[in-house]
Amino acid sequence: MDAPADFLTTSRPGDLGPETSLWLFNQCGGEAKETTDALVELCRLHSGAEREFAMALLAKCESWDLMDNPVFQATFQAQRALLEKTDLGLFLSAQCSERWGDPAEAARSYQLLDREGVPSKDSVLLDLVRVLATGGRYEEACETLRRAASCTRDFGYLSRAARQLLRLEKHARRVCARTVRIGLLYPYTTDLWVPLLRLGLFREGIWAEFQVPPYGTHHQAILDPGSPFFAFDPEVVILASTWRELNLPPFSEDPAKAAFERIEALVEHWKVIQARIPARIIQHNFEVPALDPNGHLGEAMAEGRASVVRKINDLLWLQSQTHHVTILNFDQIASTYGKRSWADAGAWFSAKQYPAPSALPALVEGQVARIRAGLGLTKKVLVLDLDNTLWGGVIGEDGLMGIQIGPPSATGEAHLALQRYVGQLKKRGILLAVCSKNNETDARAPFLEHEGMHLRLDDFVAFKANWLDKPSNLRAMAMDLNLGLDSFVFLDDSPTERAFVRRELPQVAVPDIGSDPVRYVEILDSKGYFDADSLSPEDLERSKTYLNNAQRQAMRTSAGSLDDFLKGLEMVCEHGPIDDHVLPRVLQLLGKTNQFNLTSRRHGEAQLRRILADPAAWTHFFRLKDKFDDNGLVGIVIAVPSIDHPSTWELDSWLMSCRVIGRQLENFMFNTLLEAAKSRGIATLHGLFSPTSKNSLVEHHYQALGFIEAEGEPDGRRRFVLSTAEGVSRPAAFILDPR
Amino acid sequence: MNPLQKLQAIFREYFDDPALVIGPETSPANLPQWDSVALVHIVLAIEEAYDLRFTMDEVAGIHCVADLLVILEARA
């Protein structure tokens, strides 16, 4: 028989299984040079081997004491170029560089591996984060960590990512656009849960600080006004509960009374919290437990525990509206995950851990969606690839008759299901766009001529079919639509495109939908990107508005002067005090308007209601209609009396939706404000400009309206003053006031 | 990899330290990061790597790496 080394040299890829190769490696390795030679051969034979195989090789080298052997290091370095031709070699090389104290070199190799973008290699992302952090490249480390956090729902992997996040805390906090203080009240263990929630929010660009009362003290935290919980002043309070605390017997003698009592206790907690702090409350509803000694009867009979739990959930939905509380649909999350695996009896008995650790990522995903919606950060745009995403096959090669969409092909049905789902999203205000590598005519053909297609060209507000790279197309799209890339979701079957977009545009959400169309809808749905807290009339009209923007743009080009253009728009502005009817939309705008926003104060519902209740405050909304469509509620001004000078109004908030910029609506708003101030005997208006990374557009807003700049704040906020007696109304003649 | 090497790979991954060296005597006493939360994670990672489930008694009896090796041997 040949020597083991010869055996490796003469074999071809695929000839040897990993076990055999490891055995051969064991026979021929040990000496520095021979080991390196064998590694070169193994990389050739097992170029795409699993991480475990690589780890086994490294463990062998360690057991031979080679890692610190200078001869081994030298021979390895000499063969590095050859080794790095394969993924396995890149990984070995990265691991060795790291152990030999060269994080920059390790990062380079991991990055080359990452470029392949294959999901099974996703775990190198955490290795990459580690070496970037070791090398002091914190921003890149944070960005890589963000990608790592969105590539899987594996508990172990995410927990490791969460630990790295804590180590990067100082830097991670800086790259987040938002921070939020969260109070989490849960009667059981939260040690495994909180890190994952912090990570999930970090992925969304939100830095979370937590206040979690120690195990078993959540009642005291609510009932004691001096508790650290209230001192922390949480902006979001999560009331996490489970069916256990309902303390329901398997059969309740009086089910209506049983349900009512439980609801009463919950509402009492809400009231106590709301009376003390203006926080948004997220209340978990209750999961119908998987185990029930009465089985079928638990649900079949009104007295059964499952029946009563359902009744309680029904009442919760109702009460949540009255008390402006957000419900987290815990029962739905548990059912979708699968209730038999939702709980792990061992984890429960030994550590009071519930749900099972492996179920925590699903729960956290649901909480992130609720918090994101509460902050007005719900995604707005869904960008879709075409070939093998919206239809099966490649239109440029297979032709109109060759692509699969709809029955009888099963693949075609799966693609059609995605089109239907996406079509429903569009109906409730999510903008759809296409980004595809195709010739434009080819890409359009199925929408125009294929009978099986559910979506039509006018369902999309942007259509990019060309050969440019996708990140460039997405950037252009964001510019055209005047929307931030952080409101984009990108759906593509190609792992390479997904990896490319993730790397170039980390703010875009890129779900790993795999490449099997059967799973697209399920995966997209599970992410809750578009999960909103409420639906406003503007949402339902949004897609049309953006399409009409294109027509308006065309008219602007043809109209002679700006005046002609504005006049031709036939604008009408309805306005009035903010009340319950417009509240959801006002909260939405406060939460998400970034550009035309002077103070960017993100009032939550509770805070806003406090201002509305003050008779001396002036809170006003503006809607703009034109001949193309109803833009809906697009402007808000909130003025509150100054604490020291009742005849002064502080302009707490002034914002306008970016889609109506350049129509003189800000002048109209100013005129309305000035008139109201005078009629209420207000002598002075105080304006405030708080600069953010996105609102430089309104830097000169107050000067343009005749305000005088006063002394600013040390933190960079600028103050402006206007005496109402000297205020002059501004041109807004093309906007009709129906009053 | 022998069981100790396999455990070492799991410990390295969890503690995010590719140079970590463990032996049968490794325990929370000489590896301070090894707290109760770490134990939960390590147990889960071992369960996944070996495709087995520890019993509650087994988990309660883990005080050092040697304890883990005994369980793995008994289960082999």
- Which of B36, B37, B44 comes nearest A156 by C-beta? B44
Instruction: Indicate yes or no: CB of A99 within 8 angstroms of CB of B18.
Output: yes
- Which of B5, B45, B54 comes nearest A59 by C-beta? B5
The residues spanned by each domain of chain B are 3-75
Which chain B residue lies closest to A356 (C-alpha atoms)? B44
Residue found under tokens 């009978």: A451
Q: Say if A164 is an interface residue toward chain B (CB within 8 Å).
A: yes
Distance (Å) from the alpha carbon of B42 to chain A's nearest alpha carbon:
9
Residue found under tokens 């055996």: A7
pLDDT at A119: 44
Query: How many Cβ atoms are within 10 Å of A717's Cβ, its own excluded?
Result: 12
How far apart (Å, rounded) are the C-alpha atoms in residues A337 and A340?
9
Instruction: Indicate yes or no: CB of A56 within 8 angstroms of CB of B1.
Output: yes
Domain B3-75: CATH architecture, name and number where available: Orthogonal Bundle (1.10)
pLDDT at A526: 85
pLDDT at A1: 46
Q: Say if A166 is an interface residue toward chain B (CB within 8 Å).
A: no
What residues of B are in contact with residue A164 (Cβ under 8 Å)?
Answer: 16
pLDDT at A557: 63
Which chain A residue lies closest to B45 (C-alpha atoms)? A156
Q: Is A403 exposed, middle or buried (0-12, 13-18, 19+ CB in 10 A)?
A: buried
Which chain A residue lies closest to B44 (C-alpha atoms)? A156
Measure Cα distances from A681 to A117, A578, A672, A678, B51 in Å. 64, 21, 14, 5, 76
What residues of A are in contact with residue B50 (Cβ under 8 Å)?
Answer: none
Residue A488 is inside which H or E element, if any?
A: strand A488-491
Looking at residue A735, the DSSP 8-state letter turns out to be E
Q: Say if A56 is an interface residue toward chain B (CB within 8 Å).
A: yes
- Picking from A289, A293, A240, A291, the residue whose alpha carbon sits closest to that of residue A269 is A240
What residues of A are in contact with residue B9 (Cβ under 8 Å)?
Answer: 55, 59
Distance (Å) from the alpha carbon of B43 to chain A's nearest alpha carbon:
11
pLDDT < 70 stretches in chain A = 1-2, 116-122, 550-551, 553-560
Instruction: Indicate yes or no: CB of A156 within 8 angstroms of CB of B9.
Output: no
pTM of the model: 0.77
Distance (Å) from the alpha carbon of A53 to chain B's nearest alpha carbon:
9
How far apart (Å, rounded) are the C-alpha atoms in residues A227 and A232?
9
